[in-house]
Homo-oligomer: A and B are copies of this chain.
Amino acid sequence: MELHHCRVETSMKVINVGVIGAGRIGIVHLEALASCADAKPIIISNPTVSKAQAAAEKYNVPEWTANADDVINHPDVDAVWICSPSSFHADQIKACAKAGKHVFCEKPIATDMAETIEAINACAAANVKLMTALQRRFDPNFARVRQAIEAGEVGELVQVKLCSRDPSPPPFQYVKGGGGIFCDMAVHDLDMSRFLMGSEPKKILAVGSCHIDKSIKTLPGPEAYDTATIIVEYEGGRTATIDVCRQAPYGYDQRAEALGTKGMILTDNMYPNTARLYLKDFTGNADMPFDFFMSRYKEAYIQETLAFCKALVEDLPSPCSGEDGLMALIMSVAAGMSAEQNRWVEFSEIPEVRACTDPAHCKIIDPIEFALEATHNL
């Protein structure tokens, strides 16, 4: 009997991955990495180290630690998956850039626009790839709409419509200080409109109101809205219309529709199975649609990790760049301004963009130029 023992061979193409965070989303990416022949997680960190250890044992990760720096600075790590709380993202990205490690970062890149630009610039300066994990782009449904548009299946694109509703409103404390419905919720849909349009937005109009949780009505600006409608104008006068609501009692509502000169494509919500029940007072789905992002976007979370692995192995551009994340943020801020001022807003008006002129922060991306480009040059 001859048995072969496993030698870990680091071929040119196998990416050694370090994972920061062993929470729910960290585990999702660990599972995705397990099915990826080209990537191998070699270390995982978590402040509560027992969670890191449990994950390491389950997914055969040889090392674990309490300290994210151990992951970032591990000599064998090629790329870091940042799955920590949002407030740590910017510093960890910059540390990765400094250590020459590619970065997969759960959204958002940072909690404010200046730090977002700083982190993007740090990666660009260090020539490491940065992936903003806007996972909806990798959802089989939205990706299919994009594919139909790109392939001309619906002809020349005329219009995009997106509907996005959370199952239930977040607690008051989450909304307060969170930046409002455009930044904490519609940001995904604004990015999706740009992804589907395949071009840069020109101006934005938003309107918000409060119907679900009246307690937030006293909060300032867009934090007072739980319902909003947005029109984004793109090249050639084409529009994307987005409606968002913090409550859909029937589940997590995520739909897209694109009209072209040859036809339309649309997507529906996802259900755990195809079963339909026909009873005395009911004919419909046997079960409710997926009601949370972890189940609804399960496949998207896997696909985004596989896509970034592929980009690393084949040295392709990041499939969802830091600039994509930044642009989504700029659009959210502009939407908030529009809703407050009841008028169309151009992206060059965003004050945070104008303020960010310190060359120390913006070596590579000049945000004004970036925003102007987005607004006028497309």
Cβ of A209 within 8 Å of any chain B Cβ, yes or no, is: yes
Which A residues fall within an 8 A CB radius of B? 1-6, 9, 31, 34-35, 37, 43, 49, 53, 56-65, 67, 70, 140-141, 143-145, 148, 153-156, 158-159, 161, 163, 165, 205, 207-212, 227, 229, 231, 233, 236-239, 241, 243, 245, 247-251, 253, 259, 261-270, 272-289, 342-344
Using A4-B56, A274-B269, A275-B148 as known contacts, say yes or no to A239 and B249 having CB atoms under 8 A apart.
Answer: no
* Interchain CB contact under 8 A, B70 and A286: no
* Nearest B-chain residue to A203, judged by Cβ: B342
* Interchain CB contact under 8 A, B273 and A283: no
Interface centre among A43, A158, A165 (most CB of B within 10 A): A158
Q: Which residues of B contact A265 (CB under 8 A)?
A: 275-278, 286
CA distance A61 to B64 in the complex (A): 20
How many protomers of this protein does the assembly include?
A: 4
Name the contact of A3 in the complex, choosing from B37, B63, B270 (C-beta under 8 A). Answer: B63
Beyond A144-B273, A249-B263, 11 additional contacts (C-beta under 8 Å) are A1-B70, A4-B56, A144-B275, A154-B279, A155-B249, A205-B207, A211-B238, A229-B231, A250-B263, A263-B280, A269-B274
* Interchain CB contact under 8 A, A284 and B287: no
Name the contact of A276 in the complex, choosing from B70, B268, B272, B274 (C-beta under 8 A). Answer: B268
* Interchain CB contact under 8 A, B278 and A264: yes
Q: Which residues of B contact A148 (CB under 8 A)?
A: 275, 277, 286
A51, chain B: closest CB distance, angstroms: 12
Q: Which residues of B contact A253 (CB under 8 A)?
A: 264, 278
CA distance A150 to B249 in the complex (A): 19
CA distance A286 to B267 in the complex (A): 9
Residue contacts A-B, CB under 8 angstroms, 23 given: A3-B64, A3-B65, A5-B62, A34-B34, A34-B35, A141-B274, A158-B211, A209-B236, A211-B236, A211-B261, A229-B239, A229-B241, A248-B264, A249-B262, A250-B263, A250-B282, A251-B283, A263-B282, A265-B277, A268-B274, A283-B284, A283-B288, A284-B284
